[in-house]
């Protein structure tokens, strides 16, 4: 029997097909009458396309085998399964009712008492399954049928796995489950046990009492990432009338680590029974109370994220066997209707978006502090690694003279940087990686160039670097350091929409440009060329205009590009006159050297001619031999101006590099740069955290 044949009214596997009631990722479900049992049943057929793969057949039959082991009022009963006429089938009990997903979609969030009763039924069924070593692995509202008798029944054991099974159908590293209710260990494709089902129960409890998924996202990957890394949202902030005991149960059920959750379904059932109906059990009644503060409630309604497109909506009986098995049409649940404690409906007022009123802010603050501590400590370790050498001013000395300390310190520092990288929401970004790498290299160089006395140990050099750095904070030798710092800081702030930040960025650019001018002007023996000064001013003006009109980064027409060019122009403005002066001096020296050599050559030539004339030579017949003097030597000329200018430029740059390196080493300025680069990496990190906090991006 196939769908194309129109199966209604036909007899299949001893059942008369009545109507199609669902379509899922594994196949089709029909309502039918079992002729021998004389009762309504469901017939689930494996899709012919999927039946071409033996692995799909194993999944399908494993569902039947797993559920057939279980005899419980909260689990759908399996009557028969197998193959007929080339079609694989499962015959199970028919439940008159609807899925828990559909119930919440139609009615909105369920009352706490009703949701608790449903949860007890789900947990009771899971406790039985777990006692038979069967893990469901896809508990969600779509897989819970609520009959007309109000009894919840678990369906779709397509992802179920027996702990004692020898044959594993899921391949290593394959995620199975539904993203909105998937436990962190499933998202990481790690081994799972019955506690993964308890996590999904917690997510289901959250959903049926709020009408919202615990974690929202545009894609499955975003949602799974939040399940793995984000703190569990506080349900009281979404629905203030939920008792605190229910919030605590959800929080513990959804703990990231399985060992921190409840360890059995029976344990959760006992707690819910203890608190769910205080009128019937006054001795167990909780003294906790909840209060409705209208202003806070209104803000929380505004802050609560709107439901996004659903990633998965299963029929009442069939579920995905993995989140990548199919892509279905998105269906979003209707927005829930909130009620005050008085029972009156209170629709959410239309207000402009505001920052979320959640404990996420504290969580993000702690993450930012941890990241700062990790990067600063790692930078300090790279300074000590550079200072571990025996010879100050040598980058290779630490490796040659103290390799053990070098590799230990750099290894731990790199591990801390990697740990900081793991804290990042987006894990890897180019700017962040550049800042971290540059900070490590600058820190190592700063440690290597510390002017420490010979024989000083590594720790002493580290303290000496700190002392020198603090003592030279305002030294003129660090002027170029502060120019670099201002340029980098401005490049981070200038493209912000906030006009205060944009203004500070422009001011930092101009301040850095002024410091560049002051640094290269100091001690200059010649005046700068007006042409270069005009060019630098023009570039700075264009950069200023770009900063005022741009809101997004651009590759070419951008403030960082123009101000970098302006700084280079300032450098060239003082470099070119210096190079010209050095070239002119070299030219005069080369001319004198050439003239002196020409005089020596002329004298030697005249001497040679006179000697030839004074000495007479005769042939065998006695005739005088006429001797011709050799041609005069060519005139030596000084090198051309272009070559002299290149030599002068190279000489100037070498002298400038020695000057800057010496100044930075003596003032520990390069260490300032290292720590500032680490701070810039922290700025990137905080920027990503704020983006997630204000825009609900996945962290």
Question: In this predicted model, what pLDDT tens digit does every residue of 624-650 receive, in sequence order?
Answer: 777 777 888 888 887 777 787 888 878
Instruction: Tell me whether residue 346 is in a domain.
Output: no
Same domain, 502 and 605: yes
Phi, psi dihedral angles at 32 (to 5 degrees) = -150, 170
Query: Residue 212 pLDDT more than 80?
Result: yes
* Cβ neighbours of residue 667 closer than 8 Å, sequence gap 6 or more: 468, 469, 472, 475, 477, 478
pLDDT tens per residue, range 324-345: 333 333 444 444 444 444 444 4
259 pLDDT band (50/70/90 cuts)?
A: very high
128 pLDDT band (50/70/90 cuts)?
A: very high
- Please answer whether residues 13 and 36 qualify as being in contact, where contact means their C-beta atoms are separated by less than 8 angstroms: no
Mean pLDDT value of segment 362-372: 82
Same domain, 642 and 687: no
Same domain, 227 and 172: yes
Task: Give rounded-to-5 percent helix, strand, coil for the chain.
Answer: 55, 10, 35
Phi, psi dihedral angles at 505 (to 5 degrees) = -65, -45
Instruction: Tell me whether residue 548 is in a domain.
Output: yes
The percentage of residues in the chain with a pLDDT greater than 90, rounded to a whole number, is 16
Name the pTM for this structure: 0.45
The token pair that represents 462 in the structure block: 């580290």
**Higher-scoring residue by pLDDT: 574, 140:** 140
Same domain, 560 and 685: no
- Please answer whether residues 27 and 46 qualify as being in contact, where contact means their C-beta atoms are separated by less than 8 angstroms: yes
Q: Which of 397, 58, 271 is nearest to 66 (CA)?
A: 58
Same domain, 170 and 273: yes
Instruction: Tell me whether residue 334 is in a domain.
Output: no
Which of 73, 93, 113 is at the close of a domain? Answer: 93
The percentage of residues in the chain with a pLDDT greater than 70, rounded to a whole number, is 74
Same domain, 283 and 272: yes
Same domain, 555 and 606: yes
The reported pLDDT for the residue numbered 173 is 38
Within 49-149, where are the H helices?
A: 54-68, 100-107, 112-131
Phi, psi dihedral angles at 343 (to 5 degrees) = 95, -5
Same domain, 219 and 151: yes
264 pLDDT band (50/70/90 cuts)?
A: very high
Range of 45's domain?
3-93
Same domain, 254 and 136: yes
- Please answer whether residues 333 and 102 qualify as being in contact, where contact means their C-beta atoms are separated by less than 8 angstroms: no
Which of 93, 119, 154 is at the close of a domain? Answer: 93
Q: What is the layout of strands, in order, in the sheet containing 152-154?
A: 97-99, 144-147, 152-154
Same domain, 450 and 542: no
Query: Residue 142 pLDDT more than 80?
Result: yes
The reported pLDDT for the residue numbered 577 is 74
- At 255 the three-state DSSP class reads coil
Same domain, 59 and 176: no
* Lowest-confidence pick of 331-335, 360-364, 542-546: 331-335
Number of domains in the chain: 4
**Which domain CATH number covers 53?**
3.30.200.20
The reported pLDDT for the residue numbered 408 is 92
Q: What CA–CA distance (Å, rounded) separates 674 from 380?
A: 9
Which of 93, 111, 139 is at the close of a domain? Answer: 93
Same domain, 72 and 102: no
Query: Residue 351 pLDDT more than 50?
Result: no
261 pLDDT band (50/70/90 cuts)?
A: very high
Phi-psi category of residue 427: left, alpha or beta, with phi > 0 → left and psi -120 to 50 → alpha = left
Q: Which of 370, 403, 109, 152 is nearest to 242 (CA)?
A: 109
Task: Please tell me what DSSP assigns to residue 526.
Answer: S
Query: Residue 347 pLDDT more than 70?
Result: no
Q: What CA–CA distance (Å, rounded) separates 157 from 145?
A: 13
Instruction: Tell me whether residue 342 is in a domain.
Output: no
Query: How many of the other CB atoms lie within 10 Å of CB of 693?
Result: 17
The reported pLDDT for the residue numbered 698 is 41
Instruction: Tell me whether residue 73 is in a domain.
Output: yes
Instruction: Tell me whether residue 698 is in a domain.
Output: yes
pLDDT tens per residue, range 473-484: 666 666 766 777
Instruction: Tell me whether residue 31 is in a domain.
Output: yes
The reported pLDDT for the residue numbered 262 is 93
pLDDT tens per residue, range 55-112: 888 878 876 787 787 889 999 888 888 888 888 898 988 888 888 999 999 999 999 9
The reported pLDDT for the residue numbered 434 is 83
Instruction: Tell me whether residue 207 is in a domain.
Output: yes
Mean pLDDT comparison of 160-174, 353-367, 376-390, highest-scoring range: 376-390
The reported pLDDT for the residue numbered 125 is 92
């Amino acid at each position: 029997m196939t769908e194309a044949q129109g199966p209604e009214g036909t007899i299949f596997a001893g059942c008369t097909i009545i109507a199609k009631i669902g379509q899922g990722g594994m196949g089709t479900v029909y309502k039918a009458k079992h002729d021998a049992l004389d009762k309504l049943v469901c017939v689930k057929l494996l899709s012919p396309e999927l039946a071409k793969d033996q692995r799909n057949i194993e999944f399908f039959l494993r569902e039947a085998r797993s559920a057939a082991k279980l005899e419980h009022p909260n689990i759908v009963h399996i009557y028969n399964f197998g193959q007929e006429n080339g079609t694989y089938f499962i015959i199970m009990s028919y439940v008159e009712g609807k899925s828990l997903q559909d119930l919440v979609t139609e009615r909105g969030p369920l009352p706490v008492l009703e949701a608790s009763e449903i949860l007890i039924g789900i947990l009771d069924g899971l406790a039985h399954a777990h006692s038979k070593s069967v893990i469901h692995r896809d508990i969600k509202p779509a897989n819970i049928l609520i009959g007309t008798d109000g009894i919840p029944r678990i369906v779709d054991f397509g992802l179920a796995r027996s702990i004692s099974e020898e044959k594993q159908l899921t391949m290593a590293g394959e995620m199975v489950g539904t993203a909105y209710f998937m436990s962190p260990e499933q998202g990481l494709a790690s081994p799972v046990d019955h506690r993964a089902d308890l996590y999904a129960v917690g997510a289901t409890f959250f959903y049926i009492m709020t009408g919202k998924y615990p974690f929202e996202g545009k894609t499955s990957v975003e949602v799974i990432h939040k399940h793995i890394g984000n703190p569990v949202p506080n349900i009281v902030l979404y629905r203030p009338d939920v008792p605190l005991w229910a919030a605590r149960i959800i929080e513990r059920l959804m703990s990231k680590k399985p060992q921190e959750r409840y360890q059995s379904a029976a344990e959760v059932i006992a707690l819910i029974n203890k608190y769910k109906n205080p009128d019937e059990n006054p001795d167990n009644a909780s003294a906790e109370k909840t209060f409705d503060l209208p202003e806070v409630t209104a803000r929380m309604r505004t802050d609560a994220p709107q439901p996004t497109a659903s990633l998965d909506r299963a029929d009442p009986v069939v579920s995905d066997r993995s989140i990548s098995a199919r892509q279905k049409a998105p269906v979003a649940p209707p927005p829930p209707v909130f009620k005050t404690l008085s029972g009156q409906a209170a629709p959410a007022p239309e207000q402009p978006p505001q920052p979320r009123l959640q404990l996420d802010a504290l969580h993000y603050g702690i993450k930012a502090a941890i990241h700062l501590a990790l990067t600063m400590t790692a930078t300090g370790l790279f300074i000590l690694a550079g200072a571990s050498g025996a010879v100050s001013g040598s980058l290779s000395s630490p490796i040659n003279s103290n390799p053990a300390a070098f590799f230990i310190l750099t290894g731990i520092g790199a591990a801390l940087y990697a740990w900081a990288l793991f804290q990042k929401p987006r894990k890897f970004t180019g700017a962040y990686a550049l800042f971290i790498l540059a900070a490590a290299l600058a820190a190592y160089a700063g440690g290597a160039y510390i002017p420490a006395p010979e024989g000083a140990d590594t720790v002493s050099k580290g303290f000496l670097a700190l002392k020198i750095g603090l003592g030279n904070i305002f030294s003129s030798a660090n002027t170029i350091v502060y120019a670099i710092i201002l340029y980098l800081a401005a490049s981070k702030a200038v493209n912000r929409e906030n006009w205060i930040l944009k203004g500070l960025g422009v001011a930092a650019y101009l301040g850095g440009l002024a410091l560049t001018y002051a640094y290269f002007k100091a001690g200059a023996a010649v005046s700068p060329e007006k042409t270069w000064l005009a060019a630098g001013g023009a570039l700075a003006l264009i950069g200023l205009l770009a900063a005022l009109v741009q809101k997004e980064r651009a590759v070419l027409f951008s403030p960082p590009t123009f101000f970098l060019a302006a700084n280079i122009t300032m450098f060239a403005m003082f470099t070119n006159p210096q190079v010209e002066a050095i070239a002119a001096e070299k030219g005069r020296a080369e001319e004198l050297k050439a003239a002196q050599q020409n005089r020596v050559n002329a004298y030697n030539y005249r001497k040679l001619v006179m000697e030839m004339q004074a000495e007479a030579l005769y042939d065998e017949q006695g005739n005088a031999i006429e001797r011709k003097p050799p041609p005069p030597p060519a005139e030596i000329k000084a090198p051309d101006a272009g070559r002299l200018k290149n030599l002068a430029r190279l000489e100037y740059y070498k002298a400038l590099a020695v000057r800057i390196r010496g100044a930075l080493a003596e003032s520990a300025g390069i260490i300032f740069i290292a720590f500032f680069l680490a701070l810039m990496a922290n700025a990137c990190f905080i920027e990503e955290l704020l983006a997630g906090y204000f825009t609900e991006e996945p962290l």
